[in-house]
Amino acid sequence: MRPRPTAALSNDQGGARAKKRPSRGRAPSGTEPVPTGRSRNRRIRRSRNWFYFIAFAGPNAALILAFVYYPLIMNVRYSTLDWRLGASSARNVGLANYREFFTSSDGASVWRVTIVFALCTVIGSMVLGLLMALVLNRKLPGTTFTRTALFSPYVLSGVGIGLIWSFMFDPQLGILRYVFERFGSSSPQWFLHDDLTLFVAIVVYIWKNLGYCTVIFISGLQSIPQELVEAAAVDGAGKARTFFSVVFPLLSPTVFFLLVSMTLSSMQAFDVLKILKPTGEGVNTFVFEIYRQSFGVYQRAGYASAIAVVLFVTLALITAIQFRFVDRKVHYA
C-alpha cells in the first residue's frame, strides 16, 4: 500500500504559498490601503459633523469676532493714542494714557468710588436677598405677589428707576422731604454732596437688584433636600445651627454664582448713575468715567480707551480670582 501524503508541507512550499496568499485586512506591500466600508462611513460622518458645526456655529463665531474681539483689539490700539473724538489725526503716546490714569487724582477717585459702590451693592443685595428668600420660601399668603413685586424692578428700565428715585430724593418736592419734616428736620441736599450722592446710588442699585438675588436664592433653597434639614432637626440642631451647618453650605453654588454676576454688574453700572447725577460727581465709576472722557466735555477717546482696557483687565482678574479661590468653598451636589 502506498502511504498517504501528509498534510505537512516542506518549508519551501509553505513559504511560497504564504507569499502568494495576502493577509486579511492588510494591503499588499507597495500598494495603497483599500478603505473598508466602516472607515468610509466614519469619514463621511466626520465630514457631516464638521459641516453642521460650520453651518450653525460659524455665523455666531463670525459675529463674536466682528463685534467683540475686533473692537477689543482696536480699543487696545486706540488706548496708545492721543486722539480726540472725531479728529482726523492722532498722535502715538505709548503708555502715557495709562500712566495718567494711575497717577492722577481723577483716576484715584474712580477706583475709590467703584470699589465702594461694588462692595456695598453686592454685599447689600446678597444679604437682603437671602433674608427675603428665607421668608418667602415658606408657605405664606401673598408670597407669589411679593415675589413678583420684588423682581419687577430688576426688569424695569434703569432710566425710569433713576427718574423715580431722583424725584423721591428731591429736597424740595420729594417724598422723603415730608418724612424728614414729620420728624422736625429738613431734607439733606442729596445731590450736592458727593458722599450723599454715592449713598443714594447704592440704595437705588440695591433696591433694583434685590428681587433678582431673592429669586435666585429661593431657587437654591428649594433645591436643598429636605431630608438633610429634617435629619439635623432630629439630631437636636436649632434653626440657626441648621442654617449655618446644613443650609448655607449647600447654598454655596448659588452664592458663588451671585457673587460673580453681581460683581460684574455693579462694576459696569451706568444708566441709573447717569440719571441720578448727570455730571458724574460722586458717582464716577469706571463706565461713567469712560463716558465722561469720551462723549462728555473732554472728548478724549484715547484716554477713555485706556480706562476701558483697565476695566477689562480688572474684571478678568476678579473673575479669575473668584473662580480660583472662592470656587474651592463651593459644595456641589
The whole-number pLDDT of residue 315 equals: 92
With bands split at pLDDT 50, 70 and 90, how would you rate the model's confidence at 33? low
Determine the average pLDDT of the residues in 166-175.
88
**Per-residue pLDDT tens over the stretch 98-144:** 999 999 999 999 999 999 999 999 999 999 999 999 999 888 888 88
Determine the average pLDDT of the residues in 254-263.
91
pLDDT over threshold 90, residue 213? yes
pLDDT over threshold 80, residue 185? yes
**Top mean-pLDDT range of 135-149, 204-218, 319-333:** 204-218
- % of the chain residues with pLDDT over 70: 87
pLDDT over threshold 80, residue 36? no
**Per-residue pLDDT tens over the stretch 65-74:** 999 899 999 9
**Per-residue pLDDT tens over the stretch 222-236:** 988 888 888 888 888
The whole-number pLDDT of residue 120 equals: 96
C-alpha cell recorded at residue 276: 441720578
Domains, the chain, with CATH or none: 106-282 (1.10.3720.10)
d(CA 93, CA 305): 13
